[in-house]
Structure 1
Amino acid sequence: MSDLQTGLEKTVTYLLPMLAGANIIYGSGMLELGMTFSYGQYVADNEIVRVLRRTLEGIPVSEDTMALDVVSKVGPGGHYLLEDHTSDRMKTAHVLPKFIDRDNRSEWIKNGSVTFIDSATKKAIDIIENHKAKPLPATVLKELRAIVEQADKDMTGHK
């Protein structure tokens, strides 16, 4: 079952290898030490990794991001919410969650008390029922076929 403990364990399980520079992390969608697989958990894990990847990008520091010209223009006691620079950065400076509900508790209850894993599971079902994969380009298929054929030759000893 997915719960708060699952979310914490998954976050730590992904974060530590990501901090070390790993680009492949094992275990997405798995529960119970890999004895169970959940499509909803897989979607939730993807969301966790997406948030962690954005977090690990850090905060860029440059003349543009420091916006000293905007700071000078706004001055003491002013605010930045109406500045174009602020609204432009707000579109990209954080992760917009796909499955985390940001409503207050009364709205969340009014809307059915849908949890993070409930939303992720609903998305997984939608993907299973409706996703149509785009076919690979012919050049990619040809290259993949060549790789498979070469691997077959290498494994069987045929030249």
Structure 2
Amino acid sequence: DVYGLSSTSCASDNQLGYEKAINGIMPLLAGANVISGFGSYTSGFLASFEQLLIDNETFAMMHKSAQGVTIDSDRLAVDAIANVMAGENFMEQEHTMRYLRSGEIFIPRLGADGLLDDYEAAGSKDIRERARDEAKRRLKSYEDAPLPPEADREFVRIIAAAEAELL
């Protein structure tokens, strides 16, 4: 476990963003298989649903970057480029559509990813406001999934055994 997405910032600000990005990318690139600190700030003393969603998107971007870039003859798109040079456009190319839909390009779910006019038309909300809206939506639609009775009984058994051992 590596405490990767850490920050000493006491607010959801630029410091929080750059510290989490720098502190998270290094263990990811080093091959850590567990990285914690999602949703936290102020050295782990505070956490929020909004920050959890922002961190999830930040880590998704870092993970996508850490995968690197595959370079092969298909991805070089020589034929598609030749077609565009001959007067077509990239959006007409089957190659473009295939790679747009393949996950090759990271598309944020929370961050603003468009033109200024679109951003303003959507209310000019910053990422914290969009994260707050998304957190409220998710919490409102959350449905509890109770444990199966056998799992609940097993937890009771494990806790009783631990208490007996410790007391």
TM-score (norm 2): 0.73
Q: 2:27 aligns with which of 17, 21, 40?
A: 17
Partner of 2:132: 121
CA distance in 1, matches of 2:16, 2:159: 39
CA distance in 1, matches of 2:36, 2:111: 23
CA distance in 1, matches of 2:80, 2:39: 49
How many aligned positions are there? 152
Shift of 1:121: 1.6
Could you tell me which runs of 5 or more consecutive residues in structure 2 were left unpaired when the two chains were aligned: 1-10
CA distance in 2, matches of 1:48, 1:125: 20
- When the two chains are superposed, the root-mean-square deviation of aligned CA atoms in Å is 3.0
CA distance in 2, matches of 1:51, 1:114: 21
- Pick closer, same or farther for the CA change 1:101–1:88 going to 2, 3 Å: same
CA distance in 1, matches of 2:159, 2:26: 34
Partner of 1:53: 63
Shift of 1:62: 3.1
Could you tell me which runs of 5 or more consecutive residues in structure 1 were left unpaired when the two chains were aligned: none
CA distance in 1, matches of 2:120, 2:80: 43
CA distance in 2, matches of 1:54, 1:72: 26
Letter matched to residue 24 of structure 1: V
CA distance in 2, matches of 1:145, 1:12: 43
CA distance in 2, matches of 1:8, 1:16: 13
Partner of 2:47: 37
Partner of 1:132: 143
Map 1:1-159; keep pairs closer than 5 Å. Answer: 1-67=11-77, 71-72=78-79, 75=82, 77-78=85-86, 79-91=89-101, 92-132=103-143
8 Å CA contact retained: 2:38, 2:55: yes
- Pick closer, same or farther for the CA change 1:133–1:60 going to 2, 3 Å: farther
